[in-house]
Structure 1
Amino acid sequence: MNKVRGEGRLQKPQVATNVILALVALFYLLPLWYALNNAFKYAESISVQPFWLTKHSFTFENIARAYEQLHFKTAFFNSALILALSLLLLVTLGSLAAYGVILPNNRAIRRLYTFFVALISVPPQITIVPLLLLLKRLDLVNSFLGVAFVYAGMYLPFVIFLYAGFMRSIPKEIVESASIDGCGPLKTYIHIYMPLLKTITGIVLVIRGVSIWNDLLVPLIVLNKNAMFTLPLQLYIFSSSKVGQWDLVFGGTVLVCLPITVFFLAFQKSFVKGVMAGSLKG
């Protein structure tokens, strides 16, 4: 009887936790449902039934019109190119810098790593003006590569911190065996470290990829040509010109969010594995 009572007492905090988590999930899902169901609804139905989607109010017209007016193909290509360039720079430079930090064991390198980690606390908005001035001198304004360099400068400290932490967890015996077999530092990095860091690379792609895709500030400042605008920037201009036309605004919002949602689902397993591995190590 005492065991049963004890188990019942243990279940009460679990029930309370589940209720709180359910409320938090509802808090996040309600705006998502509101935007999603209104994206496939006639304008007059949005004000009458904003939270319910019926057969009579259902339509694809909002998506089709928003697709054309957003110049979706061009903006999607611009966003995808910036995302690919930025993530390539972050993964390559971040992993190489972390490898350079953990390979030699001296005080100067440790201080340099501490400096990198300290840069995480610097708000990215502070660096926008000097970065923009630097881009002008390098003639990288209105350049996809210039935008990618800005994102690399903003997010590299965090990426270096992640890669260095996971590289330190790799047993040194593996590296020593590779050096005995004739692997130099570069071959060790390519053939030993990077295959073992697929999980952390997936985490970097998800965390930084979502931030880069949804960012509005950097493209707004660096890009001035309409043909180079990203999807979030096009949506910002589109929604500003369609005040009150909520059917088109919701349709455009769903179109912009769809690619990054697919991207997140594709790398979801790597993200969860990395989080679980980090929690177990802690």
Structure 2
Amino acid sequence: MKSSIKRRKRAKVILTNGIMILIMLFYLLPFWYVINNAFKEKSYISLQPFTIRPEIFTFDSIISAFEKMNYTTTFLNSLIVLVLSCTIFVIVGSMTAYGICISGNKWLNYLYVFFVSLIALPFQAAMVPLVSLLKNLGLSDSYLGLALVYSAMFMPFIVFLYTGFMRSLPMEIMESARIDGCSYFQAYVHIYMPLLKTITGIVLVLRGVYVWNDLQVPLIVINDPAKQTLQQRLYVFAQSRIGNFDLVFAGALIVCLPMVILFLLMQKSFIKGVMAGSIKG
């Protein structure tokens, strides 16, 4: 009886691992296809799309794409937008959730329910009013305007995450802080924000990756070629070089490489943060 149970468990583990391996290969195949063909001349891509030999390996496509995309300037543009967006995400999202949780005001709770319901609102429905509002405020074609659009898109979800996490914290923390003479702002900065490291990390990773990889919003907001983001520049670069797959693959690789490197460096922290957040919730 025990041996049959062990065999069933072993078969279940093998089946689960097999499915996970297939899923992993499914996701890795496109990435390998890009890497493999980014270091070839165009003539070899159609002949050997999934393999590469040392004699045909070359950095020429990478160097050419780097120069023609003006990668350094465009990378800084994307970095500025990412930093501005993430700063607004954390400060506004955490302070909004803090006010909702600490005040205990029923009207704020009603406002929170309405705010969270905006998660279901598609961006396309608010796209035209947002762009019109940016033009009226003089923020069109600017880094701040782009960051504000991302904030409008993601703030309901971010407030939802922060509020759910804060509500799991005991109110005795605030009561003790007030007895010790802390103002509400001091309690927010010195007590609550350190406790929100886990959820802040999750917000930065989930929404930051989206901001970095997004193409739709920059195409709508940014018209100045000098302020284009990496994804926007890659789109223009690929459109102007239809058929030059060596340059397109090389451009795609150098655009996604920063996020891949960041994830590889921080994957342990990210996994720990997600697990801690799920246990805390």
The reply to whether TM is greater than 0.5 is yes
Number of aligned residue pairs: give it: 281
Task: Name the CA shift for 1:9/1:17 in 2 (closer, same or farther; >3 Å).
Answer: same
**Residues in 1 aligned to 2:70 and 2:110: alpha-carbon distance in whole angstroms:** 48
Deviation at 1:261, TM superposition (A): 1.9
Q: 1:100 to 1:267 in 2, by over 3 A?
A: farther
Q: Which amino acid aligns with 2:186?
A: K
Which amino acid counterpart does residue 248 of structure 1 have in structure 2? L
CA shift for structure 1 position 49: 1.0
Q: Which residue of 1 aligns with 2:116?
A: 117
Deviation at 1:159, TM superposition (A): 0.6
Shift of 1:281: 4.1
- How much has 1:105 moved relative to structure 2? 1.4
Name the CA distance, whole Å, in 2 between partners of 1:53 and 1:259. 23
Q: Which residue of 2 aligns with 1:195?
A: 194
Partner in structure 2 of residue 72 of structure 1: 71
The letter for the 2-side match of 1:61 is D
Q: How far is the alpha carbon of 1:172 from its aligned partner?
A: 2.2
Aligned-residue offset at 1:223: 0.9
Residue type of the alignment partner of 1:19: G
Partner residue, 1:99: 98
TM normalised by structure 2 equals 0.96
**Residues 271 and 29 (structure 1 numbering): CA distance in 2 closer, same or farther, change over 3 Å?**
same
1:219-249 Cα shifts (integer Å, max 9, x gaps): 1111111111111000001011111111100
Residue in structure 2 matched with residue 230 of structure 1 by the alignment: 229
Partners of 1:128 and 1:265 lie apart in 2 by: 34
Give distance in 2, aligned partners of 1:268 and 1:205: 13
For the residue of structure 2 that corresponds to 1:242, the secondary structure is: coil
Q: Distance in 2 between matches of 1:56 and 1:73?
A: 30
Alpha-carbon offset, residue 162 of structure 1: 0.8
2:60 paired with 1:55: no
Shift of 1:274: 2.7
1:131-177 deviation line (CA, Å, top 9, x unaligned): 00000100111111110110111110111111111111222222222
**What does residue 268 of structure 1 align with?**
267
What's 2:180 paired with? 181
> Is the Cα contact below 8 Å between 1:199 and 1:270 reproduced in 2?
no
1:126 partner letter: A
- Structure 2 Cα separation of the partners of residues 270 and 15 of structure 1: 28
Query: Could you tell me how far apart the structure 2 residues matched to 1:175 and 1:104 are?
Result: 11
Q: Could you tell which deviates more after superposition, 257-266 or 226-235?
A: 257-266
Instruction: Report the equivalent of 2:215.
Output: 216
Partner amino acid for 1:41?
Answer: K
Distance apart, 1:14 and its partner CA: 2.0
CA change 1:73–1:58 in 2 (3 A) is same
Secondary structure (helix, strand or coil) at the match of 2:139 reads coil
1:35 aligned partner: 34
CA displacement at 1:270 relative to structure 2? 3.7
Aligned residues of 2:165 and 2:280 also touching (Cα < 8 A):
no
The structural deviation recorded for 1:13 is 2.0
Tell me the distance in 2 between the aligned counterparts of 1:77 and 1:194: 28
- Indicate conservation of the 8 Å contact 1:94/1:159, yes or no: yes
Deviation, 1:178, is: 1.4
Note the alpha carbon deviations across 1:100-158, whole angstroms, 9 max, x for none.
11011132111111111111111122211100000010011111111011011111011
Instruction: Tell me the distance in 1 between the aligned counterparts of 2:158 and 2:264.
Output: 21
The Cα of 1:69 is off from its aligned counterpart by 0.6
Q: Report the RMSD for the aligned CA atoms in angstroms.
A: 1.3
AA partner of residue 100 (structure 1): G
- SS of 1:48 mapped into structure 2: coil
Partner of 1:85: 84
Counterpart of 2:12 in 1: which secondary structure?
helix
Please tell me the residue identity of whatever aligns with 1:116: F
Query: Is the 1:75–1:231 Cα contact (8 Å) retained in structure 2?
Result: yes
Specify whether residues 134 and 159 from structure 1 end up closer, same or farther in structure 2 by C-alpha distance, changes over 3 A only. Answer: same
- Partner secondary structure for residue 142 of structure 1: coil
5+ long unaligned stretches in structure 1: none
Aligned-pair identity (%): 53
Contact 1:202 1:267 in 2 (8 A): no
